[in-house]
Amino acid sequence: MLLHLVAALLAFMIGIALFFRVLPKEARVTAPEYADRRWITAIVPFSIIAGIQIVNSQAAISVLGFYGLDTEAGLFRLAQQISLIAVFPITALSLVVAPLFAKAHAQGEKEWLQELMQVCTTVIFAFGLLFFVVSVLLAEPLIRLVFGEDFEGSYTPLIILLIGQLFNCFTGALYPLLKMIGEEKAFAWVAGIGAAINVVFAMGLATPYGANGVAVATAASLTFVSIVLGVYSLRALNINPFPTKKGWRNTWRSAKELMVARLNKE
């Protein structure tokens, strides 16, 4: 615990130092502008989204624990942690593209926003698909080798979860996009329904099917949220989050070059 605290303090201090190092001089002297009402209004949906994410991450484990299925909870937990590797690019790319989404939306550059979204979707889906194929072929012996034969039962829930994560990857960086362009309310509503699906299905499937059952519940929730938000983005916002041929072609170009060139074009 002490080492964790020390590491967190060091990371904080380094982050502050780097922040002031790269902070433009103009930002130090420019008078700040506040949008208090807009931020206060946004607090509720953002808080709901954060709470829903916690519910989704812990619902299956909690349900299995409630029914006393401790062994199944352990198997599911391992599968859940491994499945998160498939969506690692979403987390990594979000840190880079989120401010670009906000900038493109604020400047009304819909074409650039769509192009950026397509590049993100292609990279994320390609990685997720590759990880899925590798997991189908190699995950079972690797789990047995690394974690022991007691955890062989994690293989099936892992594949089920990865199917759900594939649908998540199929919409790319849609979640951060919706948050950055003021569509957090729609995101919160759909995510809330998805969480309800997760909990209800988990309670119904946990006892007869154990880890496999709650994996189905989690995958169903992921699939529902991804498809509904993807269709909403396509029809209501006119932003296609799904992979396209043009997106695959654009991805062959350097994404870094694409972003830098656009940022420098002032």
Q: 136 Cβ partners below 8 Å, 6+ apart?
A: 159
pLDDT of residue 212: 96
- Considering all CA atoms of the chain, what is the largest pairwise distance in Å, rounded to the nearest integer? 64
pLDDT of residue 230: 94
Neighbours of 163 (CB within 10 A): 17
219: nearest Cα among 83, 113, 102, 91: 83
Neighbours of 53 (CB within 10 A): 13
pLDDT of residue 251: 65
pLDDT of residue 76: 95
- Tens digit of each residue's pLDDT, the chain (266 residues): 677 788 888 988 898 888 778 777 777 777 777 766 777 777 888 888 888 888 888 999 999 999 999 999 999 999 999 999 998 888 888 888 888 888 888 888 888 888 888 888 888 999 999 999 999 999 999 999 999 999 999 999 999 999 999 999 999 889 889 988 888 889 999 999 999 999 999 999 999 999 999 999 999 999 999 999 999 999 988 999 888 777 666 666 655 555 555 555 55
pLDDT of residue 104: 87
The size of the chain, in residues, is 266
